[in-house]
Amino acid sequence: SSGINAEYGERLLRSLSFLPTIYCCLNFILSEDCERCVPMTTNAVMLETAAPISMEKYASKFHTLVSRSTEWETMAGVAKKFISNNDFDKKPVRMLSIGAGSGEFEVTMVEEFGLKLEYLYAIEPNPRLGQLLDVALKNLDVQYTIDSSFFDKDFEFDESSVCPRFDFILLAHCLYGFEDPLGGVSHAVKFLKAGGKVLIFNHGEEDGAAALFTYLTNRSDPKVFNPSLTINDTRLTAQQIASHIKAERPELTVDILEETGYTDVDEFVRSDEKTRDDDVITLFLQAEYRDLSEGARKEVFDIVMGFCDVVNDRYFMRHTSAAVIISEH
């Protein structure tokens, strides 16, 4: 009847009148200007506001990491086999090293693993590292060029002075700092000679350092902390690199070698909050551990413990050391 319809219509109008308030409350996190809304902070997760560490602090803590990690030994073992398997210890090699750093690894490959280096084109944009690189390479009896440019998908060689074709291209734990790491790898592959090889060191999917960085990225105020503001984005995995090249260049052979590596975190795990040695954890987070909230520090500790093994009564944090090998036929 008309009476029933009128009553139903009135109820419907009363129900609809609440929608602006419901809509506004649901969107309160986006707009705090509504007078209707009262912030609900009881169960809210507060965003972290720890800023990324500086390049100087990163470099200092990286030296600590090197002394406590097995990564150098893992890289050395892979590189030694790589050189031998490809006869790079028998035939002259033209090499491109992207992100060469201080040149210590390149020197080790020549002096300890027998790399028969004929010419090295080393790209290192950090001027301080570039100076150390020059000193290191002067001690080798090889021709070399140091380029302080950033390598990306638009990088080009001066072909009037350099033949841009190489037997061996090395990228050792440098892709994390690229704006477009996958595009950088695609571009690097273009400079391989027929039969050439690319060796990329990167972590794999099960990695404690990446887990910590990902946690803080997801937990932080993005205006203060996000991967575009940090020195490295360690969420990149060897599997992502390999999948990208396989899809883009199916004619190339792509292999991944993986090995479990460890970082000594015993002094972080066993100490109390006030005396805890957090240098390595700060490096992995890329923000000061002690600048995090109490709740975040507890969750970080739990993540570290989740990746720990006890070896000889010391706590070691696991990481997956990976090498991606790309072969041109």
The pLDDT tens digits for 209-232 are: 999 999 999 999 999 999 999 999
244 in helix, strand or coil?
A: helix
Q: In the structure encoding, which two tokens stand for residue 119, read together? A: 């010419």
What pLDDT, on a 0 to 100 scale, did the predictor assign at position 44? 58
181-197: string of b/e by CB count within 10 Å (b at 16+)? bbebbebbbebbeeebb
Beta strand pairing call for 314-327 and 308-311: antiparallel
CA distance 175 to 99: 8
Percent helix, strand, coil in the chain (nearest 5)? 40, 20, 35
pLDDT at res. 29? 39
pLDDT at 27 over 70: no
What's the average model confidence in pLDDT over 107-113? 97
Looking at per-residue pLDDT, the higher value among 243 and 23 belongs to: 243
Q: Determine what percent of the chain is predicted with pLDDT higher than 90.
A: 82
CA gap 210, 236 in Å, rounded: 8
* Confidence at residue 13, expressed as pLDDT on a 0 to 100 scale: 42
Q: Are 294 and 79 in contact (CB under 8 A)?
A: no
pLDDT band at 160 (very low <50, low <70, confident <90, very high): confident
Q: Which amino acid is at 217?
A: T
| Average pLDDT of the segment spanning 297-309 | 98
CA 324 to chain centre: 15
Instruction: Tell which residue, 48, 67, 49, 47, has the closest CA to residue 283.
Output: 67
What is residue 26's predicted lDDT score, i.e. its pLDDT?
Answer: 38
According to the model, what pLDDT value does residue 7 have?
A: 52
Euclidean distance between CA atoms 217 and 222, whole angstroms: 8
Average pLDDT, the chain: 89
Per-residue confidence at 167, pLDDT binned at 50, 70, 90?
Answer: very high
Q: State the average pLDDT over residues 301-322.
A: 97
Q: How far apart are CA 66 and CA 100, in angstroms?
A: 16
Q: What CA–CA distance (Å, rounded) separates 117 from 121? A: 11
Q: What are 186-201's pLDDT values in tens digits?
A: 999 999 999 999 999 9
Query: Does position 133 have pLDDT exceeding 50, yes or no?
Result: yes
Question: pLDDT tens across 44-91, in order?
Answer: 568 999 999 999 999 999 999 999 999 999 999 999 999 999 999 999
pLDDT at 159: 83
Percent of the chain exceeding pLDDT 70 equals 86
Give the Cα separation of 127 and 276 in Å (integer): 34
C-alpha closest to that of 309 among 320, 321, 319, 317:
317
User: Quick one: DSSP state of residue 52?
Assistant: B
Whether the predicted pLDDT of 25 surpasses 50: no
pLDDT at residue 15 greater than cutoff 90: no
Whole-number pLDDT of residue 182: 97
| Dist. CA 218–CA 259, nearest whole Å | 28
Beta strands in 45-191 (DSSP E): 93-98, 117-123, 143-147, 166-172
Sequence-distant (6+) residues with CB within 8 A of 199 are 78, 79, 82, 168, 169, 170, 171, 172, 323, 324, 325
Q: What is the pLDDT, as a whole number, of residue 33?
A: 46
> What tokens appear for 221 in the block?
């105020």
Q: How far apart are CA 83 and CA 88, in angstroms?
A: 5
